[in-house]
Every structure is written in structure tokens, then in C-alpha cells.
Amino acid sequence: MRVVKFVAGRFAGMVVVLLIVSFITFLVFYVLPSEPAQLACGRPCSPQALELAREFMGYNVPWYQQYFDFLGGIFTGRTFGSGPSAIHCPAPCFGYDFQNNAEVLDQILDRVEVSFSVAIGAAIIWMVAGVGLGVLSALKRGTPLDRITMAVAMAGVSMPAYLAGMLGITIFAFGLDVVPKNGYVPIGEDVVQWAWHLVTPWLVLAFLHAAIYARLTRGQMLETLGEDFIRTARAKGLTERRVVGRHALRNVLLPVVTVFGVDLGLLLAGTVITERIFSMPGVGMLLVDSIRSLNLPILLGVTLFAALLVTVVNFLVDLFYGVLDPRARLT
């Protein structure tokens, strides 16, 4: 019963967060003096034609009405315009991209595979490498291994993603000439080529994140190893391996998993910079392209999509937290 309440509470929180994010995003984008209808109106744009375009797109009603129309579209779908030229956007409708005559959701879903491929691959590498190196560093505190790891981690934390990306391309693609410079091959087409094209972005993203995780893990591990329950575990005669692996690591992973949730959620929603550097047509690229063309429905759609992923991943992390730490189930 307690578990059900815990899950339900977190789920309700997630929905509320999403509503707020959508509201703020909508408010900011539609209250700012931008005129999406102007772009669709064509040139020369007569006032009548502009009015027609606004009416067709649903921008002629007050902003709060637009917001409710938008929310309603998610559940029931929306129809823009009327008569033979009407465009129907079936539920769940996250808006319609009038520039490319496509549903926003379809545009995003078309590109999700790329962003997910980049993010998940990198996340696996950085979790293993970051946590592993962090634990190792903490156990060998003060040795050259610890110092070198922490120096490299410091460089990784301080390095902007695009510099690391360029460095990665220079070393692996230009210098060693072993991997492709950019581009993406769908996983359904050729798994080997898929992975081969992704190796550099994975390593670059993983390096940047592993640096943060190694530092976090090391600090947390050092603190945990000083706790009383570790002394108790040692006093019970457990092997060092069991003390570190079972007792300490469980405690160390709590904050790491929290950070991981936020990072993974954001990356799944499009690795904006990585995709730009490696020319990968993911959700991040869609966002950057839509900035250039001032494609408001896409901007709104991608922001909401990102918020959805962040909150969903956070929700899952909260649940996992409950599994990892019995104390969390009580609150």
C-alpha cells in the first residue's frame, strides 16, 4: 500500500511539473512579440491575408485560449482551418509545423532514434567508466593513479562539449582515420555501420560526463568510507571487496543516480551540441534548425518533449531510489 502511495505521489508530481513547464513555455513564446503567421503569409502580405493565416493557425484568439486549445489538442487532436483546406492533427497533437506541413510530434519522433542512440550509448560508457574510476580513485587515494584520474577529470569538467567534439574528430577521424567524420546510419539498416558512426560521439560525450561522475563518486566514496556502518561491516569480518562493493557503493550511488536522471533526460531530448558537431539529424538538430527558421511550433514541441523526458526519467530515478534506499520509501 505504501509503495502504491509513493508511486502515485511521484506520478502526480510529474504531471504537475509538466503542466507548469508547458504553461511557462507557452507564455514566453506566445507573449513575446513574434508573429508565426507572418512567415506563412507570404509576400506581399496584405493585412487580410495575415488575418486569414492567423485565424487558420489559431493565433487570433487570446493567449490563454490558445493554451487551452494546445492542451486540448494533446488529448483530442485539433483541426486547423475549415473546409477542404483544413488540416487535421490527430491526438496526441503537439502542434502543427506550418512551414514543413507536418505534425510536430511526427517530426520529433522521426529523429528520436538518433538522439536516443547517441545518449544511451554514451550513458552506458560514462556510468561504467565514471563510477569505476571514481571508486578506484577513492580507494587508491593520493596515489599517482588517483592524481592522474582527477587531473584528467578536471580537464573534462572544464572542457566545452564542442571542443571535446572537435578534438575527438581530429584524433579519431582525421588523425587515425579509422572512424567516419560525421553522419548517421539507422540501426535497422546496418548495425555495424550504426555503431561505427557513433563511436566518436559516444566517447566524447562519455568523456565529458565521466569526468563529473568520477569526481562525484570519489568524493562520495571517501565520505562514506568514514561512516560508522562501514567500520561495523569491516568489524564483522567482511572482505574489503564486499564492504566496498555491497555496503559503500550502495550509499555512493544515491546522489550519482540523481544526477544521472537529470543528465540522461536532457540528453535523450537531443544532444544539441554533439549532433551539430557530428552532423547527426537528431532532435537537437531539429531544434537548432527551427531556431534559424523561427519555427515556433517546433520550438515549443521540442521544449515540451525535453521536459517530458526529463520528468519521466526523474520519475523512474525516484522509483529506483526507493529500491536502492529503504529510507526513501518512508517519506
Interface with another protein (CB under 8 A)? 13, 17, 20-21, 25, 28-29, 32-34, 137, 141-142, 150, 153-155, 157-163, 166, 170, 174, 215, 218-219, 222-223, 225-226, 262, 265-266, 269-270, 272-273, 276-277, 287-288, 290-292, 294, 296, 299-300, 302-303, 306-307, 309-311, 314
Least Cβ distance, residue 150 to another protein (angstroms): 5
Least Cβ distance, residue 19 to another protein (angstroms): 10
Q: CA-to-CA distance for 41 and 52, rounded, in angstroms?
A: 9
C-beta of 89 vs 164, nearer to another protein: 164
Q: CA-to-CA distance for 254 and 267, rounded, in angstroms?
A: 20
89, β-bridge pairs: 78
Q: CA-to-CA distance for 131 and 220, rounded, in angstroms?
A: 11
C-beta of 121 vs 284, nearer to another protein: 284
Least Cβ distance, residue 303 to another protein (angstroms): 5
Least Cβ distance, residue 70 to another protein (angstroms): 15
Q: CA-to-CA distance for 20 and 300, rounded, in angstroms?
A: 13
DSSP conformational letter for 89 = E
C-beta of 187 vs 294, nearer to another protein: 294
C-beta of 25 vs 193, nearer to another protein: 25
Long-range contacts of 253-256 (CB under 8 A, 24+ apart): 253/131, 253/324, 254/321, 254/324, 254/325, 255/216, 255/220, 256/131, 256/213, 256/216, 256/217, 256/220
Least Cβ distance, residue 328 to another protein (angstroms): 15
Q: How far is CA 174 from the centre of its chain?
A: 29
C-beta of 91 vs 178, nearer to another protein: 178
